[in-house]
Structure formats: C-alpha cells, structure tokens
C-alpha cells in the first residue's frame, strides 16, 4: 500500500532533496498547494496572488518508512519558526505547512508539532500550519528534481 504526504518548507527544490533518497519513498514531485488559484504557474505563485505555497508531494511505502520519520525530516530540513520565509526566500509561498491526507496524519502532525514546541532548544514559536490538503498542482517540468538536474542546494 502506498501513501501520500505533502509538505511545504520553503523553496521546494531543497525540500524535495530532503525526501528523494529516503528508503521507502517511492517518488517526489514539487508543486503548489494551499491556495485559491486552479492550475497556478510559478509566476502566479511568486506573485503571491494565488495563495499557494511551494510544496513537495511524497509517495511512500509505510512498511518501509513511517509517516513520523517523514515528519522528522520535515522539521529538520527547515526553520519552522520563520513566518512566510526561509532564509533569504521571503513570501507567503515559502511558509511552513504540513498538508495532511488523513485523520491519522493530522493527529501525528499535531503530536509532532507539540513535541517540538515543548523542546526547550526551540527559542521561538513554531509557525508551521497543519491543514488538510485540497489540491496539489504539479509545478512546471523544469522545477522537478531541479538540484539533481542542475546541481546546487538550498539552505536556511
């Protein structure tokens, strides 16, 4: 059985990198999620008029990788205390969001955020939203596996 998880944590190129090589992850694709515009383009998302976040959709085999493991990667691959930004990337499209696909994912996401909020090493409030996924719009082909094709990396 294959499941789907969707995360937004800043520039989707770097977030995709964090999940691509994980054993049990079948595939990743970058796209746009959480907004109001149907079939948005990168330009639409960057204009911040679409309401979408840059997101990564992860399909995975839960027998090989647990959703909690994916949540751990999500929390570690970005700064969840930043609002509408990651490092130098500023705008609502870079917000931190867990888009859940089931009630079980919702509960696990809430519990993982609660654990992080109670971690004394975090000095700021967690800005990450946890909302149901509605539609995921695949980004343009040149964005898919961008770092794999072009080199480079993201960091916050």
pLDDT in tens, 58-97: 999 999 999 999 999 999 999 999 999 998 899 999 999 9
How many Å apart are CA 93 and CA 137, to the nearest integer?
Answer: 13
Tell whether 156 is covered by a domain: no
Domain of residue 25, residue span: 3-150
Contacts of residue 81, defined as CB under 8 A and 6 or more positions apart, other chains included, come to: 122, 123, 124, 125, 126, 127
Tell whether 61 is covered by a domain: yes
Q: How many domains does the chain have?
A: 1
Among 156, 99, 155, residue whose Cα is nearest residue 132 = 99
* Confidence bin at 155 (pLDDT 50/70/90): very low
* Confidence bin at 154 (pLDDT 50/70/90): low
Give the CATH number of the domain where residue 111 resides.
3.30.1060.10
Supply the pLDDT for residue 153: 59
Catalytic site residues?
11
Supply the pLDDT for residue 150: 86
Cβ-contact 139, 13 below 8 angstroms: no
Q: What percent of the chain has pLDDT over 90?
A: 84
């Amino acid at each position: 059985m294959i499941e789907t998880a969707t995360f937004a944590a800043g520039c989707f190129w770097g977030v995709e990198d964090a999940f691509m090589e994980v054993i049990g992850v079948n595939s990743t694709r970058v796209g746009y999620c959480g907004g109001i515009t149907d079939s948005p383009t990168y330009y639409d998302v960057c204009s911040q008029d679409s309401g979408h976040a840059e997101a990564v959709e992860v399909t995975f085999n839960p027998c090989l990788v647990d959703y909690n493991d994916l949540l751990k990667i999500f929390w570690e691959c970005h700064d969840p205390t930043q609002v509408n930004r990651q490092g130098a990337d500023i705008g609502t499209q870079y917000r931190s969001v867990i888009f859940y696909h089931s009630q079980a994912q919702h509960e696990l996401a809430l519990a993982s955020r609660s654990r992080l909020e109670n971690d004394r090493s975090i000095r700021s409030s967690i800005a990450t939203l946890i909302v149901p996924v509605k539609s995921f719009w695949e980004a343009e082909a040149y964005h898919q596996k961008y770092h794999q094709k072009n080199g480079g990396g993201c960091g916050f």
